[in-house]
C-alpha cells in the first residue's frame, strides 16, 4: 500500500506528464484539473466536438437518466487504458475516452446502456471509447486505493453534467492544493456525506475531511498545529471552487487531528462512526482504509463508558423538553412581542423603556386615547410582558411550571397579537402621514401667507402666481408643486374618509390596503421634498428682500479718521465701532440691534429721505465727512 502513497518527488507518471503540459505560471503546478487542459487536447476536442455532441444526443435519447458525460484528457489515457485492460493495438489508435456516468439505480441495466453507448460511438468515430460507470464504481476506486485513476476521471471535461463531475472535481482540486503545500502532515483526505451516499443534488455541498498526523509533533502544541493548518486549508476552498467553476460555499471542509479522531472512534461518537461508514478516501497513507475495514468487520465497538455516556443523554430528555418549553414561553415570546410593540410606540413618537412602561403606554395611547386596538390585545401584552416575564425575573417561574398546553395557548395569543399590531402599524403610519402632510402644508402656505399678506389657500395660490411666478422671481414649476402639495393633503384626508365609509358599510375596498398605503407614502414623501425646495427658496427670497431694504436705507460716513454706517429711518441710527446708536436731540445715545431691525422692518416699502438735521448732529460728533450711498 505504501507504493500508492509516495512523496511529491515520487508522484505517479500521470501527474508528471500533466505537469509538462500545464501553464508554467499557474499556481497549481501539476494539479490535475479540466480547466488546464493542454493546447493539443483543446485542438483535438474542437475537431471531435460535433461527433461528441452527436454521441451525447444519441445516448440521452435512449437513456435520459444519464447523470454525466465527460471527455477524459489524453494525458490520462495511459492510466485509464491500463486500468481497464485496453489492448495495445487499440491504444495505438489514439483513443478518445468518453466517460458516461449513470445513476446507481440503473446498475441492472448497465450492460444494455454500455452496448447502446458503444454502438452509438462506433457509428460516429471509431476512436471513441466509452466507459460507463455508476458513482459507486467511482467510489470503489478510492476503496481500492486507485487514487490516480480517480484523479484521471475527475479531470474529465464535462460535456453534460447534473452535478457529479463538478462535485468530484472541486474536491480533487482542493486535495491537490492541500497536498502540494504540506503533504507530510496529511494522512487522509476523505469525501463523505450525501455525495457518497448517492443522495446529492446539483445544489448539494461537498463534504470532505482532512485528517492531520499529529503523532510526531514536537515543537508546537497540537492545537496550534491544527489552527495553523486549518487557516491554510480553508484559504484554498475559494480558489478550488473558482477553478472548478462551482458556486461559493460548495465545499465544506472538516479538519481533525489523528489523535482526536481516534478518541472519537474509541468513544463510539456517532459523527465519527458515520464518517468512517460513508467516507471514501481521495488520498490515504494507510490510515482511513484500515479503520473502515475494522468497522465493517465489527472490530470497532464502543466502550461500556461510551455506552453509559450516550444512554445518560436520554435520561435528560424530560429536563431538556421542559427547558425548551420554558425558554419559548419566557424569552422567545417576551422578545417576540415586546420589541415590535416598542417599535410601534416609537413610530407614534414615544420612547418606551421598561416592559411595564411599554404596556402602560400601549394601553393609554392605542386603546384609551386613539381607540385603534381592542382590549384583548392589551391583556395579551400584559400577560406576557408583565405576568409571565416578572414571574421569570423574580424566580417564581421555573422549568416544569409551564406545560405544552399552556405554551400552546400563550403562543397562539402571541401570534394573534402580532397579526393585529401589523394591522395597527398600517393605521399608525396613516396617522403619521396625515400629521406629516398637515405640517408640510401649514409650513409652506403659512410662510407664503405671511409674505403675500393673504389667508385663504385660493388667494395665496393666485397671489403667488401673479406677484412671484409671473414676475420671474420663482420658476413656473413652483406653482405646480404648490398645487401638488395641496392636492396630496386633500387625497390623504379623502382616503381616510373613504376607508371609514367602507368599514361602516362593510364594503370591499377597490384598492388593496398595502398598495394604497405605499402610494400615499410616496406622495407624502414627494410633497415633503417639494415643500423643502419651496421653503428654502422663500427664505432666500425673504433674505434678499430684507437685504434690499437695508441697502436702500443705508449710507456710509467716510471721514479722515472715521468710518460708520448711518440709516435714515423714522429715527437716524448709527453703527460705529461695533456699537448701535441713534440720534436723540442733539446727541448720540446707545441703542440695540433689535431696535434697528424693528425700524428696518417698519420702513420696508417706504421711500428713504436724508435727514439733514441729523447730518448736522453727526458733523458735530465726527467732524467733516463724505456721505456715500
8 Å CB contact between 255 and 230: yes
Q: What confidence tens digit (pLDDT) does each residue in 146-169 have? A: 999 999 898 888 999 998 999 999
pTM beyond 0.85, yes or no: no
Q: What is the C-alpha to C-alpha distance for residues 159 and 99, in angstroms, rounded to an integer?
A: 10
Determine the pLDDT at residue 99.
93
Confidence band for 89, pLDDT divided at 50, 70 and 90 = confident
Same-domain pairing of 141 and 35: yes
C-alpha cell at 107: 446498475
In a domain, 151, yes or no: yes
Q: Are 76 and 96 in contact (CB under 8 A)?
A: no
In a domain, 555, yes or no: no
| Same-domain status, 324 and 295 | no
Residue 414 lies in a domain: no
Q: What is the pLDDT of residue 624?
A: 84
Q: Which of 162, 181, 203 is the last residue of a domain?
A: 162
Domain boundary among 381, 402, 423: 402
Q: With 50 as the cut, is the pLDDT of residue 524 above it?
A: yes
Q: Which residues of 513-542 are buried (b: 16+ CB within 10 A; e: fewer)?
A: eeebbeebbebbeebbebbeebbeebeeee
Same domain, 248 and 367: no
Cβ–Cβ < 8 Å for 358, 341: yes
Say whether both 398 and 500 belong to one domain.
no
Do 194 and 137 share a domain, yes or no? no
Q: Which of 52-61, 267-276, 519-528, 585-594 has maximum average pLDDT?
A: 52-61
Residues of the chain with pLDDT > 70: what percent?
85
One domain for residues 463 and 518: yes
The lowest-confidence range among 3-17, 266-280, 310-324, 331-345 is 3-17
Per-residue pLDDT of 251-309, as tens digits, reads: 999 999 888 888 887 776 778 888 888 999 999 998 899 988 888 887 777 666 666 66
| Structural domain count of the chain | 5
Shared domain check, 459 and 332: no
Asked if residue 7 has pLDDT above 60, the reply is no
The answer to the question of residue 539 being in a domain is: yes
What confidence score (pLDDT) does residue 457 get?
86
Tell whether 552 is covered by a domain: no
Is 487 or 68 the better-scoring residue by pLDDT? Answer: 68
Mean pLDDT value of segment 54-77: 90
pLDDT band (50, 70, 90) for residue 377: very high
Mean pLDDT on 129-155: 92
- Would you say residue 135 has pLDDT above 50? yes
Residue 510 has pLDDT above 60, yes or no: no
Number of helices and strands (H, E) in the chain? 25, 14
What is the residue-wise DSSP string for 78-124?
HHHHHHTT--HHHHTT--EEEEEE--GGGGGGHHHHHHHHHHHHHHH
Question: Which of these three, 283, 299, 315, is where a domain ends?
Answer: 315
Q: Which domain holds residue 248?
A: 170-315
Domain for residue 554, yes or no? no
81 and 181 share one domain: no
Position with higher pLDDT, 44 vs 297? 297
Using the CB atoms, write b or e for 412-436: b if 16+ within 10 Å. ebbeebeeebeebeebbbbeebbeb
Give yes or no: residues 29 and 51 share one domain.
Answer: yes
417 located within any domain: no
Q: 323 and 442: one domain?
A: no
Q: Give the three-class secondary structure for 461.
A: helix
User: What pLDDT is recorded for position 518?
Assistant: 66
Check if the beta carbon of residue 618 is closer than 8 Å to that of residue 625: yes
Residue 287: C-alpha distances to residues 2, 34, 195, 258, 276 (Å): 11, 29, 22, 9, 11
Domain-embedded: residue 472: yes
- Start-to-end C-alpha separation, the chain: 109
Nearest CA to 237 out of 283, 178, 194 is that of: 178
Do the beta carbons of residue 103 and residue 140 sit within 8 Å? no
Both 470 and 585 in a single domain? no
Residue found under cell 480517480: 150
Q: Both 394 and 474 in a single domain?
A: no
599-611 pLDDT, tens digit per residue, is 877 777 777 788 8
- Would you place residue 220 in the very low, low, confident or very high pLDDT band (cuts 50, 70, 90)? confident
Checking DSSP bridges between strand 554-559 and strand 280-284, what pairing results, if any?
A: unpaired
- Residue 224 has what pLDDT? 80
Predicted local confidence at residue 498, as pLDDT: 62
* Long-range contacts at 527-532 (CB < 8 A, ≥ 24 apart): 527/437, 527/440, 527/484, 527/485, 527/488, 527/489, 528/436, 528/440, 530/481, 530/484, 530/485, 531/440, 531/443, 531/444, 531/485
Distance of CA 492 to the CA centre of its chain: 35
Query: What span, in angstroms and rounded, lies between the C-alpha atoms of 557 and 181?
Result: 88
Amino acid at each position: 500500500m505504501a507504493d500508492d502513497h509516495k512523496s511529491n518527488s515520487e508522484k505517479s507518471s500521470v501527474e508528471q506528464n500533466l505537469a509538462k503540459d500545464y501553464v508554467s505560471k499557474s499556481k497549481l503546478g501539476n494539479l490535475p484539473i479540466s480547466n488546464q487542459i493542454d493546447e493539443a487536447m483543446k485542438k483535438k476536442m474542437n475537431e471531435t466536438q460535433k461527433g461528441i455532441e452527436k454521441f451525447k444526443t444519441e445516448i440521452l435519447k435512449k437513456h435520459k437518466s444519464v447523470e454525466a458525460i465527460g471527455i477524459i484528457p489524453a494525458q490520462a489515457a495511459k492510466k485509464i487504458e491500463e486500468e481497464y485492460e485496453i489492448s495495445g493495438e487499440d491504444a495505438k489508435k489514439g483513443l478518445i475516452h468518453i466517460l458516461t456516468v449513470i445513476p446507481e439505480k440503473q446498475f441492472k441495466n448497465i450492460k444494455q446502456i454500455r452496448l447502446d453507448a458503444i454502438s452509438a460511438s462506433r457509428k460516429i468515430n471509431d476512436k471513441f471509447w466509452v466507459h460507463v460507470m455508476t458513482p459507486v464504481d467511482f467510489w470503489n476506486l478510492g476503496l481500492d486505493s486507485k487514487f490516480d485513476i480517480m484523479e484521471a476521471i475527475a479531470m474529465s471535461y464535462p460535456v453534460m453534467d447534473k452535478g457529479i463531475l463538478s462535485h468530484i472535481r472541486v474536491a480533487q482540486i482542493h486535495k491537490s492544493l492541500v497536498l502540494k503545500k504540506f503533504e507530510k502532515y496529511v494522512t487522509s483526505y476523505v469525501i463523505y456525506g450525501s455525495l457518497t451516499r448517492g443522495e446529492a443534488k446539483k445544489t448539494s455541498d461537498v463534504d470532505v475531511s482532512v485528517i492531520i498526523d499529529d503523532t510526531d509533533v514536537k515543537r508546537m502544541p497540537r492545537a496550534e498545529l491544527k489552527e495553523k493548518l486549518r487557516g491554510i486549508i480553508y484559504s484554498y476552498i475559494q480558489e478550488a471552487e473558482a477553478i472548478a467553476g462551482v458556486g461559493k460555499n460548495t465545499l465544506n471542509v472538516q479538519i481533525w487531528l489523528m489523535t482526536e479522531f481516534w478518541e472519537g472512534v474509541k468513544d463510539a461518537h456517532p459523527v465519527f462512526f458515520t464518517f468512517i461508514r460513508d467516507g471514501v478516501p481521495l488520498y490515504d497513507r494507510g490510515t482511513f482504509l484500515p479503520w473502515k475495514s475494522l468497522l465493517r468487520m465489527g472490530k470497532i465497538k464502543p466502550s461500556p463508558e461510551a455506552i453509559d455516556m450516550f444512554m445518560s443523554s436520554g435520561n435528560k430528555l424530560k429536563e431538556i423538553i421542559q427547558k425548551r418549553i420554558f425558554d419559548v414561553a419566557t424569552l422567545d415570546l417576551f422578545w417576540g412581542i415586546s420589541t415590535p410593540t416598542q417599535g410601534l410606540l416609537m413610530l407614534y413618537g414615544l420612547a418606551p423603556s421598561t416592559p411595564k412602561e411599554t404596556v402602560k403606554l400601549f394601553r393609554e395611547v392605542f386603546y384609551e386615547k386613539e381607540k385603534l386596538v381592542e382590549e384583548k390585545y392589551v391583556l395579551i401584552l400584559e400577560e406576557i410582558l408583565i405576568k409571565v416575564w416578572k414571574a421569570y425575573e423574580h424566580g417564581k417561574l421555573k422549568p416544569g411550571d409551564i406545560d405544552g398546553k399552556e405554551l400552546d395557548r400563550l403562543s397562539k395569543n402571541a401570534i394573534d397579537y402580532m397579526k393585529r399590531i401589523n394591522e395597527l402599524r398600517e393605521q399608525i403610519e396613516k396617522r403619521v402621514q396625515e400629521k406629516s402632510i398637515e405640517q408640510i402644508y401649514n409650513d409652506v402656505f403659512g410662510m407664503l401667507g405671511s409674505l403675500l399678506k393673504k389667508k385663504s389657500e385660493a388667494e395665496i395660490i393666485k397671489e403667488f402666481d401673479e406677484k412671484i411666478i409671473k414676475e420671474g422671481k420663482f420658476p413656473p414649476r413652483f406653482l405646480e408643486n404648490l398645487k401638488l402639495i395641496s392636492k396630496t393633503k386633500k387625497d390623504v384626508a379623502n382616503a381616510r374618509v373613504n376607508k371609514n365609509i367602507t368599514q361602516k358599510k362593510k364594503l370591499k375596498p377597490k384598492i388593496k390596503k398595502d398598495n394604497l398605503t405605499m402610494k400615499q407614502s410616496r406622495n407624502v414623501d414627494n410633497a415633503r421634498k417639494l415643500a423643502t425646495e419651496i421653503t428654502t427658496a422663500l427664505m432666500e427670497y425673504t433674505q434678499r428682500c430684507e437685504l434690499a431694504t437695508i441697502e436702500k436705507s443705508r449710507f456710509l460716513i467716510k471721514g479722515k479718521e472715521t468710518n460708520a454706517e448711518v440709516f435714515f429711518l423714522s429715527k437716524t441710527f448709527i453703527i460705529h465701532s461695533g456699537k448701535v446708536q441713534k440720534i436723540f436731540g442733539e446727541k448720540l445715545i446707545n441703542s440695540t440691534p433689535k431696535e434697528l431691525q424693528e425700524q428696518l422692518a417698519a420702513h420696508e416699502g417706504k421711500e428713504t429721505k436724508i435727514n439733514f438735521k441729523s447730518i448736522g448732529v453727526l458733523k458735530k460728533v465726527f467732524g467733516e465727512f463724505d456721505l456715500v450711498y
